[in-house]
Amino acid sequence: MEDTAGSNPQSLGFTEKLKSWLSWSWTYVCFIWFGMVLIMIYVLWSPLKLQETLTSASVFLNTLTPKFYVALTGTSSLISGLILIFEWWYFRKYGTSFIEQVSVSHLRPLLGGVESSSTTGLFASVNGEAEPRPSVSECKVWRNPLNLFRGAEYNRYTWVTGKEPLTYYDMNLSAQDHQTFFTGDTPQLRPEDAVMQKAWRERNPQARIRAAYQAIEMNQECAAAYVLLAEEEATTITEAERLFKKALTIAGKDINLLVYIKRRLAMCARKLGRIKEAVKMMRDLMKEFPLLGMLNIHENLLEALLELQAYADVQAVLAKYDDISLPKSATICYTSALLKARAVSDKFSPEAASRRGLSTAEMNAVEAIHRAVEFNPHVPKYLLEMKSLILPPEHILKRGDSEAVAYAFFHLQHWKRAEGALNLLHCTWEGTFRIIPYPLEKGHLFYPYPGCTETADRELLPSFHEVSVYPKKELPFFILFTAGLCSFTAMLAMLTHQFPELMGVFAKAFFSTLFAPLGFFADKMESFMPSSFWHQLTRI
């Protein structure tokens, strides 16, 4: 057994060496093969009567009418045009070239290509330490702290527009959250809990509501059932608040239920205009459960404080949570930028700043904007209303378009309220991209921008929304190639149809020039090699 185990690494090492050698020698093998083909053609030129074959082929081609060439080039243009349309559609939908994807997936392994490791590369973090670059699987999706109510808000949007604001992927994540949050710590499921677990998994909203009523029939004190009804059946915020209060009275000592219900009650108070009451409830919740920072209740608090225009309190919250050791969010970064911009934006003028330079306060505001834009570059277009807003999803991807939609949906009004803040943002936000010319490779204040955000955002955001992509992708080579091929062959078809004789002369001149190097190579080979050598070689 030991000998067998010891021999495996050696065999694996030999295989890897052989594979790397083949990969290294592939380019040279191609050149050698091409040279051997040329030599073989020259050697077999006389025995196979290739000269006579080419002569008969040229006679045949000369007998073809211009209509044949028009049909040939026209068909080539049509086929390349169809390929171009398909490639463009595939790129718009999936963000990559179909031909390139197939080539990389199937041809690269055959040519000895090796996948570049995304988990072993190192890059500098904010504090200067080297940490591994996050892989695609580490693009974590977070629960949206300010997610709307399905019955009172999302469903009303569907009734008015006929569009579904939530994707199935997003709702499935919510179902998993609810199952884990409300029944994950229960040692033994009660019958009503089993019904509720099934209810969260139901795709049909009416089936979920019926299951909630079934759980209430089994146990009048099933708080999770009232939570579901408040979220999905209540058509107004007032009705949802009533059901949440009912759930709160019967929640008992279940911490997860208590935290969830109290947070949603605070959000109901915020939506109904009782802002101070909402702020008090959020502060009490954070004080009562200080270890639940992962729920990001402070983001709800920041939004409510901004509505009260209590900027000193906002700064105090930021001082606690905008720490280098804590995970950032668009809310943290852009709220910090808003406070610094607000201090100078009312008197800011681009012309005056270009003449006299930026003051210290203006420089701090610009740097805060650059920091926020580096963290999430999708937000400014929504704040500046260069891109239309939609209802935010129930889950977001940090630094992605989904987070930008969620932030701008709730905070655009706060930026508009600060006089000149949007003007300062408009004048300075694009300067961020000069600081980070290669955002996927190296960041300035944060990690390099993750390359997986587009895929995750397409799953989280509805299909009618045009997902914002950063950095902007260039058109793949094969789209440009097929566009050029389609245009070129269409032009040839048109010219051949209009000027058949002139195009015939042009074609003969083109092919004569194309094959001139081969004739020159053959003459040099004849003068270099003795005639007896070629005679013996042809006899073989």
Residue 142: helix, strand or coil by DSSP? strand
Highest mean pLDDT among 72-81, 85-94, 194-203, 286-295: 194-203
| Cα–Cα dist 214/253, whole Å | 23
Contact 166, 248 (CB under 8 A): no
User: Minimal CA–CA distance to 401: which of 410, 390, 412, 413?
Assistant: 390
What is the per-residue pLDDT across 363-393, written as a single tens digit (0 to 9) for each?
Answer: 999 999 999 999 999 999 999 999 999 999 9
Q: How confident is the model at residue 267 (pLDDT cuts 50, 70, 90)?
A: very high
Q: What is the pLDDT of residue 87?
A: 77
- Percentage of residues of the chain with pLDDT beyond 90: 40
**Stated length of the chain:** 540
Q: How confident is the model at residue 8 (pLDDT cuts 50, 70, 90)?
A: very low
Q: What is the pTM of this model?
A: 0.68
Contact 134, 450 (CB under 8 A): yes
Q: What is the pLDDT of residue 477?
A: 66
The angle formed by the CA atoms of residues 335, 337 and 343, to the nearest 5 degrees, is 105
Mean pLDDT value across the chain? 79
Q: What is the pLDDT of residue 269?
A: 96
| Cα–Cα dist 250/253, whole Å | 9
Residue 117: helix, strand or coil by DSSP? coil
Highest mean pLDDT among 20-24, 154-158, 527-531: 154-158
More confident residue, 26 or 453: 453
What is the per-residue pLDDT across 41-54, written as a single tens digit (0 to 9) for each?
Answer: 666 656 655 556 66
More confident residue, 326 or 121: 326
More confident residue, 75 or 401: 401
User: Minimal CA–CA distance to 261: which of 285, 280, 283, 238?
Assistant: 285
